[in-house]
Amino acid sequence: MVNSCTGKMGHATAEAVVRAGLQLVPLSFTGASEAVAVGNVGVAGIPVELIAPEERQAAMQRVKEQYPGLVLIDFTLPSVVNDNVEFYARNSVPFVVGTTGGDREKLLADAQSAGCYAVIAPQMGKQVVAFQAAMEILAENFPGAFSGYKLAVTESHQRQKADTSGTAKAIVASFGKLGTPIREADIEKVRDASTQVERMGVPEEHLSGHAFHTYRLTSPDGDVEFVFQHNVCGRTIYAEGTVDAALFLAKKVAEKSERRIFDMIDVLREGAMR
């Protein structure tokens, strides 16, 4: 079950669920205004009914009864993701959170205190997760390797993305261990279309959905430079990774795993990427 299918990321993920041959629950929790204005949305030919916040508890009971193998996927908004996770936890439903932002510590705490199975990650793209994991391994094994270097980080996303990229924040944390700490406020967020096209090289057809990140390390004397970069167009990479996470979580539930809270690096380490 994908919440919310009215958003571009949620819709892309719902389509990936269908492509993977899984059963898409034809209901989706969304905001009150979307539920009233739209009613339902089509996903790969499947009409998905939109459920307003005041109706979601009754709908949740129906869904749990009809779909015993249920896994929820959340691609909503930073402003509501914490409330959503509290709701999922109260209903003891396994869930995957791809929504960025919100109070991340509280997300984890609420899931843990409820004993829920969950995958909570700032990044769902398979290959980007592998890059993120590689940077963390580098940081753990070679702390301080870039001490004295200056780190400059630029991340470009579609205009609607208000928060700083969770991936950028995670990579910056790894660089901090490598000896180049910077504040979140120092991460340059590019949301202006002309800058994205002219400076970042974002294709115009992907201005509404992209992730172009550059991490530039410069030595104190300016003679040495390392550049780490990933340029992602579209949303398929995230949607497919999210489906992998849902399948991974369903497997953990079936196995009655003692550990219940995971991230995408756990999915990657288990070789659970299709």
Domain with CATH 3.40.50.720 in the chain: 2-120+237-269
Determine the average pLDDT of the residues in 40-58. 90
Q: Answer positive or negative: Cα dihedral of 77, 81, 87, 93.
A: positive
> What would the DSSP string read from start to end of 58-110?
HHHHHHHHH-TT--EEE---TTTHHHHHHHHHHTT--EEE----S-HHHHHHH
CA R_g for the chain: 19
pLDDT of residue 40: 81
Tens of pLDDT, residues 230-248: 999 999 999 999 999 999 9
> Is 60 exceeded by the pLDDT of residue 13?
yes
Is residue 169 over pLDDT 70? yes
Alpha-carbon distances, residue 198 vs 105, 107, 160, 161, 193 (angstroms): 37, 38, 19, 20, 9
Q: Is 177 a catalytic residue?
A: no
Q: Is the pLDDT of residue 274 over 80?
A: no
**Confidence grade of residue 166 (pLDDT, cut at 50, 70, 90):** confident
Average pLDDT across the chain, whole number: 92
Over residues 183-209, mean pLDDT:
95
Q: Which of 11, 126, 157, 177 is catalytic?
A: 157
Q: Indicate which residue of 11, 64, 126, 161 is catalytic.
A: 161
CB-based contacts of 147, cutoff 8 Å, min separation 6: 178, 179, 180
Q: Looking at residues 166-175, what average pLDDT do you find?
A: 91
Predicted local distance difference test score (pLDDT) of residue 170? 87
Q: What is the CA angle 131-132-134, rounded to 5?
A: 65
- The question of whether 157 is a catalytic residue gets the answer yes
Residue 103 pLDDT > 80 = yes
Is it the case that residue 34 has pLDDT exceeding 80?
no
Cα 236 to chain centroid distance, Å, stands at 12
221 token code pair: 């004397």
Query: What is the rounded average pLDDT of the residues 137-160?
Result: 95
Could you tell me where in the chain the CATH 3.30.360.10 domains are found? 126-234
Residue 116 carries which side chain, given as an amino acid letter? C
Side by side, the strands of the sheet bearing 46-51 are 27-29, 46-51, 40-43
| Residues 2-120+237-269, CATH architecture | 3-Layer(aba) Sandwich (3.40)
Residue listed under structure tokens 């003692």 = 258
DSSP letter for each residue of 24-60:
PPSEEE--HHHHHHHSEEEETTEEEEEE-GGGHHHHH
**Whether residue 144 has pLDDT greater than 90:** yes
pLDDT tens per residue, range 114-131: 999 999 987 898 889 899
Please tell us whether the domain made up of 126-234 is placed in CATH 3.50.50.60.
Answer: no
- Residue 175 neighbours by CB distance under 10 Å: 21
Buried b (16+ CB within 10 A) or exposed e, 124-150: bbbebbebbbebbebbeeeeeebeebe
